Structure 1
C-alpha cells in the first residue's frame, strides 16, 4: 500500500472510461458513462447541491480504486431519509450541511461503492473517505445502498449500519408469464389476469424497445411522461432531457423503453436500466390516468421481458406495499453512516438499533403476505 496514492477529483473527465469500468464489475449505474452523463448534463454539480468529489486511488499512475463521492448541501434524491437528523442538528444550532455521500445520484439501487479488486484497497478507500470528511469539517458521511459484502468494511472504518426495505422480483426459472402466474395463489393470480385483460379490452398495447434502437421522438415522449409525473405534484424532475439523450448515445443498449398506447395514441412510458443479470425499474410517467396502467407498464411488462430474456432479478424500488400482490417481495437493503459529532453519533446509533429491530419485524411480516403458494 506504500505506493498507492489517494486524490479527490471533482469531475470524471480526467479519468479514462476503461480504467474506471475495469473496477466496476459491469454495473450500469456506477459505470463511467452513467456517472459522467450526470456531470456533463449538469444534473450534478455545485449548482445542484451534488458536488462531485470522487476519491481515486492510483499506483504507478494506474487506477486501482475509486469511490463515487458527492459533497451535498441537501438530502434530496437519496431515498435513505435523514431529514430528521438534519432537523435535530438545526434545532441544536449545528450545521448538518454540507455532508459527504457515496451514492449514485437519484438512483436507489444496490451496487458497488468501493470500486477495487483488492480487499486492502477497499479498506483504504473507506478510511480515506472518512479522513476526507473529517479534514474538510463535513458533518457526516453516508454510503447509500452499498453491496452487502462491503458492509463490514464500512463498519470497521467507523460507520453505523442502517437497514431499509425495497421490493424486488426474483426469477425462479420461469418459462413464461403464465408459468410465473401459476406459482401464485388462486386469488392473486386471478386478479392479475383480470387487470391485464381489462387493459386489452380497452385497446391498450405495449412496445418494448432497446434504448439504442429507440428514435429521439420516442425518448422525447418518455421524457414528457416522466416530467408530467413531477408536474402534477407541482415540482420539477431531478433529471433533464439531455441526460437521457446521453444514456441513449453512450449506453443505450443497457436501457429499455416501454411505451403504452391506447387505440394507437401513446399514453405512458417507463424506462428500465439493464445491469448484468438485473433490471432496474427507474422512471415512469403517464399522460392519462387509466386503471391498472402503472402496474402493467412498470411491472408486468418488465417481468415478462425478464423471463423471456433470462434476467434473474427486477428491482422495483422502495415504498409501495401494493407491489407485494404483483409478485415483488420485500428485501433488506443497507446503508452506512458516520457522524462527526460524538453525542449525535451516539443518539443516531441508538435510533438505528431501534429502527433496525422494527425493520426486521416489518420484513418478517412482509414474508407472511407473499402472493405465492406455500411450497
Structure 2
C-alpha cells in the first residue's frame, strides 16, 4: 500500500527473518537492545513470539522506492497478555456491542515493558510521524482489524501521534538515575540518613548469607547458567500464576546474538545456583528483565535486581537503571516514578470516543499519583 505522496510503500512481514538484519538495525539504532534484529529474531526463532502465544509477527517496513527508510516491530494480537498496558475493558466494551476487538495490531517488544522508540526511522530519512501513523492506519484497515497500539513509545512519538489524531495514554515506572556517582556509597550519601541505614542493612544481610555473587556477560554465560536461569524463570511464573512464554532456547539465542549486552546477576550457594536476574545493557541504561530464586534468602531480590544493577550501571557509566513494571517499594531504594507513554488508534468511532474520555481522566489520576509518590523520595532534603 502506498501513501498519498506515492513514494512511500508499506509492507507487512510475518517473520523478521524476511527483513535484512543490517537494514533493520540501521533503523533501530544501537541504543536499545530490545529493538535489535537479534533480540526480536531470538523471540521468533525460539518459538516464544508466534501465533501459538498470540504474538503473530506483522512487522512493518516502509520503503522509499526500494530503500528501507523505517521499520516497526509489530504483531497481530489475539489477546492482551504480555503487554503491561491494559485494555481488557476496551475489548469487553466493543464485544458487548457485537464488534470484534481481537485481533489487533500491537507495536511493541513482546513480554517486555521497556520504553523506547517504536517508529524506527533511518537517521538519513526524514519520515514524519504523521506519515507513519497514516501507513499503520491503512494497514489496520486493510486487514480489517480493530485498532493499532504503540506501547511504551517515546514521548516524542506520543506527542506526534496525538497530533495525528491518535489517543494518548500514560503509565508509570520506577527508574534509578545516575547523578554521576563514583560508587554505591556515593549514591547512598545522597539519601536521607534513615533511608541510607535501611539500604546498608539490606545489603549487609543479603551479603552475610554465605552466597557468592557474579555479574556475568557475553561468553561468561554458559548453557549451565541458562539451564539454571530458565528454572528460576519458571518458578517465578508459577508463583505468579502467569504463562511461561519464553522458551529455553530463547535464552541461548539471546546470549549468542546479543553477546556482552546480556548481563546476568547470578547467586550461588556452595557452588549451586540459587538465584538470577537477567538484564540487557543499552547505550544509556541497564534494563532489568526477569528474575527468579530457589530458596528463601534475606533481601536477595533487592540485592540482585536493584543494588547489583546500580553497581553495574555506575561502573559502566550508564545514566539509569530501568527495573521493569510496577513496584512502589522501589522508591525507598532510589528508583523514582517516571511516566511511560502509549498511543492508540481505534477504528470504531463509538469506542474511540469512550476511550478518549477514559484516557484523559486516567492521565490526570496518574499525574497526581506520580506527584504524590515523588514526595516519598528517599533523597536528602537538606536535613543532613
TM-score (norm 1): 0.96
Q: Structure 2 vs 1, CA of residues 236 and 4 (structure 1 numbering), >3 Å: closer, same or farther?
A: closer
Matched, 1:68 2:73: yes
Aligned to 2:173: 166
How many angstroms does 1:229 deviate by? 0.5
Gapped runs of 5+ residues in structure 2?
none
How many angstroms does 1:121 deviate by? 4.8
How many angstroms does 1:155 deviate by? 1.5
How many angstroms does 1:302 deviate by? 0.6
Aligned to 1:84: 89
Query: Is contact 2:13-2:59 (8 Å) kept?
Result: yes
Aligned to 2:16: 12
Separation in structure 2 between the aligned mates of residue 146 and residue 78 of structure 1, nearest angstrom: 12
Matched, 1:215 2:222: yes
Matched, 1:148 2:152: no
Separation in structure 2 between the aligned mates of residue 165 and residue 204 of structure 1, nearest angstrom: 34
- Matched ranges for 1:1-375 at <5 A: 2-26=6-30, 27-116=32-121, 117=123, 118-374=125-381
Q: In structure 2, the residue corresponding to 1:364 is in which secondary structure?
A: helix
Q: In structure 2, the residue corresponding to 1:337 is in which secondary structure?
A: strand
Separation in structure 1 between the aligned mates of residue 242 and residue 348 of structure 2, nearest angstrom: 34
Query: Is contact 2:212-2:269 (8 Å) kept?
Result: yes
Gapped runs of 5+ residues in structure 1?
none
Between 290-299 and 151-160, the greater mean CA deviation after superposition: 151-160
Please tell me the root mean square deviation across aligned C-alpha atoms, in Å.
1.4
TM-score (norm 2): 0.94
Separation in structure 2 between the aligned mates of residue 277 and residue 236 of structure 1, nearest angstrom: 31
Deviations 1:119-164 (Å, cap 9, x if unpaired)?
4354322211011112222111110011111123212332100010
Q: In structure 2, the residue corresponding to 1:208 is in which secondary structure?
A: strand
How many angstroms does 1:233 deviate by? 3.6
How many angstroms does 1:205 deviate by? 2.5
Separation in structure 2 between the aligned mates of residue 368 and residue 232 of structure 1, nearest angstrom: 32
How many angstroms does 1:374 deviate by? 1.8
Separation in structure 1 between the aligned mates of residue 98 and residue 66 of structure 2, nearest angstrom: 44
Separation in structure 1 between the aligned mates of residue 322 and residue 131 of structure 2, nearest angstrom: 30
Q: Structure 2 vs 1, CA of residues 211 and 270 (structure 1 numbering), >3 Å: closer, same or farther?
A: farther
Query: Is contact 1:114-1:126 (8 Å) kept?
Result: no
Q: Structure 2 vs 1, CA of residues 357 and 245 (structure 1 numbering), >3 Å: closer, same or farther?
A: same
Query: Is contact 2:129-2:161 (8 Å) kept?
Result: no
Aligned residues: 375
Q: In structure 2, the residue corresponding to 1:88 is in which secondary structure?
A: helix
Deviations 1:46-97 (Å, cap 9, x if unpaired)?
2221111111112342211111111110001000011111122233332211
Q: In structure 2, the residue corresponding to 1:314 is in which secondary structure?
A: strand
Separation in structure 2 between the aligned mates of residue 112 and residue 321 of structure 1, nearest angstrom: 25
Between 174-183 and 17-26, the greater mean CA deviation after superposition: 17-26
How many angstroms does 1:219 deviate by? 1.4
Separation in structure 2 between the aligned mates of residue 340 and residue 64 of structure 1, nearest angstrom: 26
Query: Is contact 1:10-1:54 (8 Å) kept?
Result: yes
Query: Is contact 2:218-2:261 (8 Å) kept?
Result: yes
Query: Is contact 1:229-1:285 (8 Å) kept?
Result: yes
Separation in structure 2 between the aligned mates of residue 12 and residue 188 of structure 1, nearest angstrom: 46
